[in-house]
Amino acid sequence: MQTFLSVVLALTLVTSRLVALGNPPGSWNEQEAKGYFPYHRLIESDFPINDAVHPENGMYTDGFFRFQYHDHWSGTDGHFVARITDWVVWSGFNRNKSSRKSWFKKVAETLPHEQGHLDLSELHSKRLAETPIDKLPVGEGATAEEAHADLQRKMTALSQRVTAANQAEQNRYDAETNHGANAAKQREWSAQIQARLQRAGIHF
C-alpha cells in the first residue's frame, strides 16, 4: 500500500541557483532527522513496527514529494502577474507514515511490491520536476499580494493533480497485483516499472 504526500512551500525571494531533483534546500541530513529519506532501495528496517495504523495492511509504504519555488511579480494599473522564476522538487520515502505489523512475517517477499510503490511515486515526482518553467501556472490579481496568492492556489491545485494521478496508478497497481500476491502480475508490473525508471534516468 502507498500514499503520496505533497507540500507546497512558496517563497518570493529570487536566487540564482537551485539544486536538482532529489536534493532539498539545506541537506538530506536535515530531512532525515524529520523522517524524510531520499529515494532508495527499501529494506526491512525502513518500516517501523506499528500495529495501530492501516489495519488492513501488513506493510505500508508512504512516498512524498515537495517543491519550493521563487516567484517575481510585475504589473501596474490594477493588473499584477506573479511568475515562477525557478523552483526545486525533491521526493522520496516518508518513514513517518510507513510501517509494518508486528505479526507480519513475509517482509522479504513483500519488499519488491512495496518498492514498486516507491518507484511509482518517484516517476510521478520526476514528471512534475521536468515541467518547464514557462508551463507552470501564473498568478494574477489586482495587487501583487493577490497575484502571489493566486499563484499559490494554482500551484496547490497542480500538486493535487499530481497526487491524484499518482494515487490512481498506485491503486491500479495494488488491484492488478492483488497487493503483490499475484506473482505473474507482480513480475509484469515490476518489469514495466523498471523500464520506465531507466527511461526517466532514475536510479538509486
**Tens digit of pLDDT at every position of the chain (204 positions):** 554 443 443 333 222 223 335 689 999 999 999 999 999 999 999 999 999 999 989 999 999 999 999 999 999 888 999 999 999 999 999 999 999 999 999 999 999 999 999 999 999 999 999 999 999 999 999 999 999 999 999 999 999 999 999 999 999 999 999 999 999 999 999 999 999 999 999 998
**Total tally of structural domains belonging to the chain:** 1
Query: Would you say the pTM of this structure is higher than 0.85?
Result: yes
> Rounded CA gap, 19 and 38, in Å?
14
**Maximal C-alpha separation, the chain:** 66
- Residue-range definition of the domain harbouring residue 110: 2-200
> Rounded CA gap, 128 and 158, in Å?
9
Query: Which of 187, 191, 193 has its CA nearest to residue 169?
Result: 193
